[in-house]
């Protein structure tokens, strides 16, 4: 009972050790199985899935496969069961001829996990081979004088099986004269020998027939036979003798075929046929018999085919020397093959990726390689490396396996494809190398935003363009690939003059072409700033912006517009009439044509010419200033009334023009002027009425003038009373410009200038020719009164000084004499360049900046005139007699031109001071009577 318990305990411990051993081997990635040889294809070897803990779905999904060295794959993995099965019929004797224990190695690769497991399969021998002799018919010659007990070697049988299935024993049958003896060789092999049991008698039997049988230990046992024919010959008393009992030679594996490796020599003391020695191989393997050749006459052993150290590093040959009789000798020849570095390392790509994303993390496995060198020693040691500067590195995985992993981040925009060259070199001298290439394509990630070809774009577009005109094309590129590099364009949101930017321009999404959606006007919009956005097709999309500046180029699309004389001047006989004394000298200023052009630059430069005149040689027009002057002194025979047509032309291409019509009256006195005007009114009203109606119109005119004069006096009286009332209410140090009408100030470059009205007395009689005109003492046609100090108020009209205005010791200034030449000075003329002396004193503007500056001046003057609170003397809308005797005239009819105004011949700058005037109605502007008088004297 105790013995049975102990046996059961030993079995449990053995089973436990076997389980632990299997678990340890599985944990270290090493599996061991055994399978008999000659199993049919598909036979079960082992349950790999169970031993490695792999699930069947994982085997199918992760690409598990079995690989082994050599051309023939002996094992495979069953995909449905996870079993390791045989892929071919396995013959142990063919695979492991020289190895006692036959073990085949293979590797199980899990591609999804980049894992390798080693598998060793031991091939178990079966008794599938019977012992066999190399020669089944043997000839032996024995002299009749041979004494009993003599021994003669017999050929050995060969059984490829191993263990008990190999050769075990010999048997001899057939004759009583012979027996069998088996000797044990140095390596434990059995050497049969034929023993002469009885003396031979050639006369009794010249031949003896024997059968040698070899048997293995299989169950059932297999046998092999050889027939031996023994011939009895005459006596030979000397046997051959080798020069040495054992020959050893070392040859490199690269020795040429046909080379003599060694020569054995044996001598025999006999003579004749008994002394002639022949050599033969008695014990040799099939492989050795195919590699080496023994010359039977000379004993030279030569090489029949190339040696390979990796297939066999040593060979043993038994050479027998036999004379002409039955004497022989045996020698052992050992041929050792030395290794030569004749095998380059072999690189096998077991698993590899073909594509990798450029954002793959560092350490990502891209390939699994197996490297092997069949040489031995240092010649078989392999060093692996990667060629070039590539973002990869090699890592040792399992035994001879290496992994190629990423060493740093990838960038497809720099390198889109890699051909990773893995190079292996052995330790031989010279070293042998081999290489393998792993092709890897880098997949794109949207990590680059579009980049425009220019930092900013600008274009020029002529105004009045056609809708849909191409302005320019923006272009952006994206360093990415495919959909990530597809760029689309769009406009950034914005507004222009209250309207969406998209109503002015549009951009083609695919090409980046920028189109104008409407016709643009330089006078309304001179420049357009916009932003174009380029966006790629990635997810998420990346974008960039660029600014585009669109300049509108002016074209000559606006004709000049005449400001003075007004277009309605021809409709009334009392308006648009210019006065010129008959005693005028040549070059006297008669009138001035004022025109503006809404264009800019050269398109706004204006020139004037006289297109038509009643008397062509009497008047001329300044080509740049527009001033109408007398070309000669008027003659008595010249008509009193003249009609002039002035052509105003700009400098555009083609040039545009406008005309202005002036009516000029030559008169010596007011009576004559009134007569001419009355005649003109009469002709305009009823050309067919008799001349007697002229008196009626003159009376009406005088009555109207008288009524106006009385109204004017009443107005002055009211203003005086109002001023006195203000002086009583306001403190003494109030502004010096109290009571001064705002209309007496004109803004020129921000300077407030006070225009003093002309005061005059008009005496009319029944006879117009005796009427006369007397100017007041403070009236001057060529000067403006100087501005008084802030604490010295100036009178509105007349020579009367306010209380305390002048010191007690200062004498009042003398009254200026009337100007005998009552022609209008340039300050009294309509227009903005009246201060010029001479016809063409002004310089033509040299550039567009000067041109636009001058245009701004005349527009400011036009704005001043267009203001309802501003007049330059006279009455609102009056261009009659009062305009002849004073500098006042109104431009209320003039439209508001705020830009592109050019004033020929003037370098002054006019600003719109209407706003300032409205805000500062109480600003001091009174004139200093004393200083004014002194200035007049000078």
Tokens (6 digits) for 100: 């006692």
Residue 410 has pLDDT above 50, yes or no: yes
CB-CB neighbours of 714 under 10 Å: 10
Residue 372 φ then ψ, to 5°? -145, 140
Instruction: Please name every residue paired with 322 in a beta bridge, in sequence order, or none if there are none.
Output: 278, 328
Output the pLDDT for position 887: 36
d(CA 934, CA 938): 6
φ/ψ of residue 707, rounded to 5? -60, -40
- Burial classification of residue 732, based on how many CB atoms lie within 10 Å of its CB (0-12 exposed, 13-18 middle, 19 or more buried): exposed
Query: What pLDDT sits at residue 477?
Result: 93
Helix, strand or coil, per DSSP, at residue 255: coil
- HEC per residue, 368-435: EEEEECCCCHHHHCEEEEECCCCCEEEEECCCCEEEEEECCCCCCCCCCEEEEEEEEEECCCCCCEEE
* Token pair of 869 as six digits: 């609170």
pLDDT at 440: 93
Checking if the pLDDT of 405 tops 90, the result is yes
Rounded to an integer, the average pLDDT of 568-590 is: 71
Q: Is residue 398's pLDDT more than 50?
A: yes
Tell me what percent of the chain is helix, strand and coil, each rounded to the nearest 5.
20, 35, 45
b/e string for 585-624 if b means 16 or more Cβ within 10 A?
eeebbbbbbbbbbbbbbebbbbbbebbebebeebbbbbbb
Read off the pLDDT of each residue in 375-394 and give the average, rounded to a whole number: 89
Q: For residue 852, give both structure tokens.
A: 């636009």
Per-residue pLDDT at 804 exceeds 60: no
Tell me what pLDDT residue 648 has. Answer: 94
Assess whether pLDDT exceeds 90 at residue 792.
no
26 vs 31: CA distance, rounded Å: 6
- Per-residue 3-state assignment (H helix, E strand, C coil) for 641-663: EEEEEEEEEECCCCCCEEEEEEE
Q: Which residues contact 842 (CB under 8 A, 6 or more apart)?
A: 624, 625, 833, 836, 904, 905, 906, 907
Rounded Cα distance, 249 and 303, in Å:
13
Burial of 135 (0-12, 13-18, 19+ CB in 10 A): exposed
Q: Which residues of 389-420 are buried (b: 16+ CB within 10 A; e: fewer)?
A: ebbbebeebbebbbbbbbeeebbbbeeeebeb
Cα distance between residue 275 and residue 70, in whole Å: 52
Checking 90-98 for CB contacts under 8 A at 24+ apart, the result is: 90/35, 90/37, 90/38, 90/39, 90/123, 91/37, 91/38, 92/37, 92/38, 92/123, 92/124, 92/125, 92/162, 93/37, 93/129, 93/160, 93/161, 95/123, 96/123, 97/160, 97/285, 97/287, 98/312
pLDDT of 711 higher than 50: yes
Of residues 349, 353, 351, 444, the one with CA closest to residue 406? 353
Q: Identify the CA nearest to 213 among candidates 177, 254, 256, 167.
A: 167
Q: What mean pLDDT comes out for the span 513-521?
A: 92
Q: What is the CA radius of gyration of the chain?
A: 67
Rounded mean pLDDT of 254-279?
86
Mean pLDDT of the chain: 74
Enter the tokens of residue 412: 């497809």
Per-residue pLDDT, averaged over 251-279, amounts to 87
What separation in angstroms does the CA of 153 have from each of 150, 192, 305?
10, 6, 30
353 vs 744, more confident: 353
**Is 681 buried (19+), middle (13-18) or exposed (0-12) by CB count in 10 A?**
middle
Phi, psi dihedrals of residue 531, rounded to the nearest 5°: -130, 130
What is the pTM for the complete model shown? 0.46
Q: Give the model's pLDDT for residue 768.
A: 37
User: Which band of pLDDT confidence, cut at 50, 70 and 90, is reported for residue 694?
Assistant: low
| Least confident among 26-30, 551-555, 628-632 | 26-30
**Residue 578: enclosing H or E segment and its boundaries?**
strand 577-581
The lowest-confidence range among 585-589, 773-777, 804-808 is 804-808
Q: Higher-confidence residue: 773 or 350?
A: 350
CA dihedral (452, 453, 454, 456) positive or negative: negative
Q: Residue 834's pLDDT is what? A: 37
CA–CA gap between residue 49 and residue 324 (Å, rounded): 68
* Prior bond of 622 cis (ω within 30°): no
Predicted confidence at residue 103, as pLDDT, reads 87
Cα–Cα distance measured from residue 237 to residue 509, given in angstroms and rounded to the nearest whole number: 116
Q: What is the pLDDT of residue 685?
A: 53
The stretches of 186-300 forming alpha helices (DSSP H) are: 286-291
With pLDDT > 90 as the criterion, what percentage of the chain qualifies? Answer: 26
Query: Under a CB-based contact definition with an 8 Å cutoff, are residues 903 and 832 in contact?
Result: yes
Q: How confident is the model at residue 895 (pLDDT cuts 50, 70, 90)?
A: very low
Q: Give the tens place of pLDDT for each residue, 35-48.
A: 888 888 888 989 88
Cβ atoms < 10 Å from Cβ of 92: 23
Nearest to 67 by CA among 133, 130, 6, 116: 116
Query: Any idea what the Cα angle at residue 186 is, between residues 181 and 189, rounded to 5°?
Result: 55
> Cβ distance 344 to 432 under 8 Å?
yes
CA-CA distance, 514 to 510, in Å (whole number)? Answer: 11
Question: Are 573 and 680 a contacting pair, CB within 8 Å?
Answer: yes
Residue 192 near residue 154 (C-beta atoms within 8 A)? yes
More confidently predicted of 151 and 782? 151
Q: Are strands 241-242 and 190-196 parallel, antiparallel or unpaired?
A: unpaired
100 pLDDT higher than 80: no
C-alpha–C-alpha distance, residues 80 and 25, integer Å: 24
**pLDDT at 401 (0 to 100):** 92
d(CA 905, CA 845): 8
Least confident of 448-457, 566-575, 643-652, 746-755: 746-755
Q: Helical H runs in 867-922?
A: 881-885, 914-919
Sheet containing strand 433-443, strands side by side: 355-357, 433-443, 417-426, 382-386
């Amino acid at each position: 009972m105790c013995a049975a318990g102990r046996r059961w305990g030993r079995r449990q411990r053995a089973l436990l050790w076997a389980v632990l051993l299997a678990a340890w081997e599985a944990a270290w990635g090493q599996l061991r199985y055994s399978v008999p040889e000659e199993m049919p294809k598909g036979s079960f070897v082992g349950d790999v899935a169970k031993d490695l803990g792999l699930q069947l779905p994982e085997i199918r999904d992760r690409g598990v496969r079995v690989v082994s060295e050599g051309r023939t794959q002996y094992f495979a993995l069953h995909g449905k069961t996870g079993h390791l099965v045989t892929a071919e019929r396995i013959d142990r004797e063919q695979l492991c001829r020289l190895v006692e224990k036959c073990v085949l190695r293979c590797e199980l690769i899990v591609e999804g996990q980049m894992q390798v497991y080693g598998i060793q399969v031991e091939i178990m021998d079966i008794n599938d081979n019977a012992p066999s002799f190399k020669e089944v018919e043997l000839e032996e010659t024995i002299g009749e004088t041979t004494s009993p007990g003599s021994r003669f070697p017999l050929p050995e049988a060969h059984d490829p099986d191993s263990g008990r299935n190999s050769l075990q024993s010999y048997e001899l049958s057939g004759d009583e004269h012979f027996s069998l003896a088996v000797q044990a060789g140095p390596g434990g092999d059995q050497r049969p020998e034929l023993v002469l049991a009885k003396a031979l008698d050639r006369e009794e039997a010249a031949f003896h027939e024997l059968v040698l049988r070899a048997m293995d230990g299989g169950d059932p046992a297999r046998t092999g036979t050889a027939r031996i024919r023994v011939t009895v010959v005459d006596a030979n008393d000397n046997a051959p003798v080798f020069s040495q009992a054992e020959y050893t030679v070392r040859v490199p594996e690269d020795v040429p075929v046909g080379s003599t490796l060694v020569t054995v020599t044996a001598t025999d003391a006999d003579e004749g046929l008994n002394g002639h020695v022949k050599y033969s191989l008695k014990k040799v393997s099939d492989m050795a018999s195919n590699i080496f050749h023994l010359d039977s006459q000379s004993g030279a052993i030569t090489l029949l085919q190339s040696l390979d150290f990796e297939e066999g590093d040593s060979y043993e040959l038994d050479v027998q020397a036999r004379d002409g009789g039955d004497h022989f000798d045996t020698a052992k020849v050992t041929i050792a093959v030395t290794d030569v570095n004749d095998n380059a390392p072999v690189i096998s790509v077991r698993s590899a990726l073909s594509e990798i994303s450029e954002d793959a993390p560092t350490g990502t496995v891209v390939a699994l390689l197996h490297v092997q060198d069949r040489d031995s020693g240092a010649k078989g040691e392999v060093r692996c490396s990667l060629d070039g500067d590539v973002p990869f590195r090699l890592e040792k995985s399992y035994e001879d396996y290496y992994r190629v992993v990423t060493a740093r981040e990838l960038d497809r925009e720099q390198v889109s494809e890699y051909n990773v060259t893995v190079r292996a070199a052995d330790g031989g001298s010279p070293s042998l190398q081999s290489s393998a290439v792993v092709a890897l394509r880098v997949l794109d990630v949207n990590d680059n935003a579009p980049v425009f070809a220019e930092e900013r774009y600008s274009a020029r577009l002529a105004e009045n363009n056609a809708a849909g005109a191409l302005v320019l094309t923006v272009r952006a590129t994206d360093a990415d690939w495919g959909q990530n590099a597809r760029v689309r364009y769009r406009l950034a949101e914005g507004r222009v003059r209250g309207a969406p930017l998209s109503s002015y321009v549009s951009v083609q999404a695919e090409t980046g072409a920028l189109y104008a959606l409407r016709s643009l006007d330089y006078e309304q919009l001179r420049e357009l700033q916009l932003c174009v956005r380029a966006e790629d097709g990635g997810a998420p999309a990346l974008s960039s912006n660029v600014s585009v500046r669109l300049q509108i180029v002016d074209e000559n699309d606006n004709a000049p517009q005449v400001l003075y004389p007004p277009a309605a001047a021809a409709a009334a006989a009392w308006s648009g009439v210019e006065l010129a004394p008959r005693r005028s000298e040549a070059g006297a200023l008669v009138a001035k044509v004022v025109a503006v052009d809404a264009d800019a630059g050269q398109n706004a430069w204006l020139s004037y010419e006289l297109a038509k005149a009643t008397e062509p040689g009497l008047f001329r027009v300044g080509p740049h200033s527009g001033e109408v002057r007398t070309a000669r002194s008027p003659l008595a025979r010249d008509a009193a009334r003249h009609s002039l047509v002035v052509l105003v032309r700009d400098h555009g291409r083609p040039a545009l023009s406008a005309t202005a019509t002036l009516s000029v009256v030559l008169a010596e006195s007011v009576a004559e002027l009134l007569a001419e005007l009355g005649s003109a009114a009469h002709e305009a009203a009823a050309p067919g009425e008799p001349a007697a109606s002229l008196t009626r119109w003159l009376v009406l005119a005088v009555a109207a003038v008288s009524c106006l004069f009385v109204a004017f006096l009443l107005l002055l009286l009211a203003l005086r009373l109002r001023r006195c009332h203000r002086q009583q209410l306001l403190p003494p140090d109030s502004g010096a410009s109290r009571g001064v009408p705002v209309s007496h100030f004109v803004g020129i470059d921000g300077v407030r200038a006070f225009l003093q009205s002309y005061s005059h007395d008009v005496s009319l009689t029944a006879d117009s020719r005796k009427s006369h005109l007397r100017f007041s003492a403070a009236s001057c046609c060529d000067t403006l009164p100087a501005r008084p100090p802030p604490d010295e108020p100036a009178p509105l009209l007349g020579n009367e000084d306010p209380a305390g205005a002048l010191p007690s010791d200062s004498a009042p200034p003398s009254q200026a004499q009337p100007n005998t030449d009552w022609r209008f000075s340039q300050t009294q003329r309509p227009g903005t360049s009246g201060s010029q002396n001479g016809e063409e004193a002004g310089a033509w503007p040299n550039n567009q900046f000067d041109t636009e500056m001058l245009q701004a001046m005349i527009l400011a003057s036009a704005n001043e005139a267009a203001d309802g609170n501003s007049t330059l003397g006279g009455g609102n809308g009056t261009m009659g007699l009062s305009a002849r005797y004073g500098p006042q005239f109104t431009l209320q009819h003039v439209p508001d031109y705020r830009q592109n105004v050019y004033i020929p011949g003037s370098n002054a700058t006019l600003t719109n001071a209407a706003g300032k005037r409205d805000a500062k109605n109480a600003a001091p502007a009174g004139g200093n009577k004393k200083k004014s008088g002194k200035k007049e004297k000078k």
